Structure 1
Amino acid sequence: MKQERAERTRHALVCSAAEVFDRLGYERASLVRISNTAGVTKGALSFHFATKEELADAVEDLAWRMTRQAVQDAAAGGGTALQNLIDVTHALARLLSGNAVARAGLRLSRERDRDGQAEQPQWFSAWLPQVRVLLEEAARDGSLLPEADVQALAVLITCTVTGLETAQRVPGHLSAALPDPGPAGPLPAPGRAWLARIWHLLLPRIAPDDHTASTKAEGTL
């Protein structure tokens, strides 16, 4: 029971730290600010995490595990590899629009000093390998055109996902550019709405006609 309570406290501290890292970034975040957000003393926080580096490691680890699970679930959707790939991008967009831990994981992967190491940022390694696997599967199962540039698509998807996260940090930036949905009803969250439009533009250029017609650019989540 005592160990379970300590684990719950540790998890709550990590989530509070994620909110601060997401909002302020790694350099501006402090243990004092994080402890205030968590509603505990700095001493209580230090009992679980001696340094800001340890706390950031824990946030990145949780963001990695959370993102990896969401991506695995989306990739197992049962559709074509291309549809599963689209679903993965929507799962990522949904995480980044509504989950401070995931956003903090992305931001920390960009901002933390890795001592000059060339290792891949942790958050990106939670989903980029799956994107590459699905692109290769799509090339094999015929849901991608033979001439589709798989490497360029991987880069485009990476830029799109990270770009949506950056744009969403500016209040109203994405939603202001979207048209009034009118009688069709409300659009999904702005990040996912833009993602669907991007896939609508891409599909005729990367997929055979029969797959273009049957593939859902808005995802099947």
Structure 2
Amino acid sequence: MRQQERALRTRARIVRAAALEMDRLGYEGARLSRVSQVADASMGAVTFHFPTKKALAEAVREEGVASVDAVVNRTLSAGTSRLRAVVDLTVALASLLEQDVAARAAARVAREQPDVMEQWSGSWLPTVLDLLNRARADGQLRPEHCPETLAALIVYLLAGAESEIRTGADGPPGGAGSVADRLEQIWRLVLRGVAAGRI
């Protein structure tokens, strides 16, 4: 039992190290030898748990998606209106990108290597689109606004948030606070144009 626990801890350290490297350098730039060093694990341990770099990237993706799923579930269980849930989910995902290296690494690798990993947005975009369609049906969105267009806007907003987080940019003038805070401010502007009333 003790050996199995040690193997699980080693595997977790390897995945964490791979997330750090893939977040910093992307899939192509991440080297298994460097992952081994950062994880303080032998190359034998790395290749025992992950025979290929692609398998390691998949483990990073799974960890990132698990974090996204937790955020989605937490947002959906809050009991807010559907349109408010879309806003809250978008802001929570931006916050997740700021704080969770596996989510950030999964987003980067999916963007840079779509043949290696399915798109990061695939773990949350269907929920967003469903919420927007229901919000429209409930009269929360103005009828002239298309849920698919709003969903595309959200994809672009989160891509911009990831880029700002990754580059360490300070954002636009007067944009104090976290990326999630600034995204909340952007939503206030957007809602004035798309919401049918108070959300």
| TM-score after normalising by structure 1 | 0.83
Give yes or no for contact 1:17–1:59 (8 Å, CA) kept in 2: yes
How far off is 1:122 after superposition? 4.2
How far off is 1:139 after superposition? 0.6
Q: 1:122 to 1:61 in 2, by over 3 A?
A: farther
Give yes or no for contact 1:19–1:100 (8 Å, CA) kept in 2: yes
**Equivalent position amino acid for 1:203 in 2:** L
Mark the runs of 5 or more structure 1 residues left unpaired by the alignment.
181-186, 216-221
What is the alpha-carbon distance in structure 2 between the residues aligned to residue 45 and residue 105 of structure 1?
Answer: 19
Q: 1:38 to 1:157 in 2, by over 3 A?
A: same
Q: How is 1:82-93 mapped onto 2 (pairs within 5 angstroms)?
A: 82-93=83-94
Which residue among 155, 162, 165 is the counterpart of 1:168? 165
**Number of equivalences:** 198
1:95-132 CA distances to partner (integer Å, 9 max, x unpaired)? 101111000010111122518xxxx8242211000000
More helix by share: 2
Q: 1:51 to 1:122 in 2, by over 3 A?
A: same
How far off is 1:15 after superposition? 1.1
What is the alpha-carbon distance in structure 2 between the residues aligned to residue 35 and residue 177 of structure 1?
Answer: 41
What is the alpha-carbon distance in structure 1 between the residues aligned to residue 129 and residue 84 of structure 2?
Answer: 14
Mark the runs of 5 or more structure 2 residues left unpaired by the alignment.
none
Q: 1:113 to 1:132 in 2, by over 3 A?
A: closer
What is the alpha-carbon distance in structure 2 between the residues aligned to residue 178 and residue 56 of structure 1?
Answer: 37
What is the alpha-carbon distance in structure 1 between the residues aligned to residue 91 and residue 184 of structure 2?
Answer: 8
2:190 maps to 202
2:143 maps to 146
Give yes or no for contact 2:23–2:105 (8 Å, CA) kept in 1: yes
What is the alpha-carbon distance in structure 1 between the residues aligned to residue 147 and residue 114 of structure 2?
Answer: 31
Give yes or no for contact 1:35–1:41 (8 Å, CA) kept in 2: yes
How far off is 1:43 after superposition? 2.0
Q: 1:208 to 1:101 in 2, by over 3 A?
A: same
1:36 maps to 37
1:121 maps to 118
How far off is 1:177 after superposition? 2.9
How far off is 1:3 after superposition? 2.5
Q: 1:172 to 1:111 in 2, by over 3 A?
A: closer
Q: How is 1:50-89 mapped onto 2 (pairs within 5 angstroms)?
A: 50-89=51-90
Q: CA RMSD in A?
A: 1.8
2:127 maps to 130
What is the alpha-carbon distance in structure 1 between the residues aligned to residue 169 and residue 160 of structure 2?
Answer: 15
**Equivalent position amino acid for 1:83 in 2:** R
**Equivalent position amino acid for 1:154 in 2:** A
What is the alpha-carbon distance in structure 1 between the residues aligned to residue 120 and residue 169 of structure 2?
Answer: 26
Give yes or no for contact 1:80–1:141 (8 Å, CA) kept in 2: no
Give yes or no for contact 1:60–1:122 (8 Å, CA) kept in 2: no
Which of 17-26 and 35-44 deviates more? 35-44
| TM-score after normalising by structure 2 | 0.92
How far off is 1:208 after superposition? 2.1
Which of 91-100 and 36-45 deviates more? 36-45
Displaced runs of 4 or more, over 3 A: none
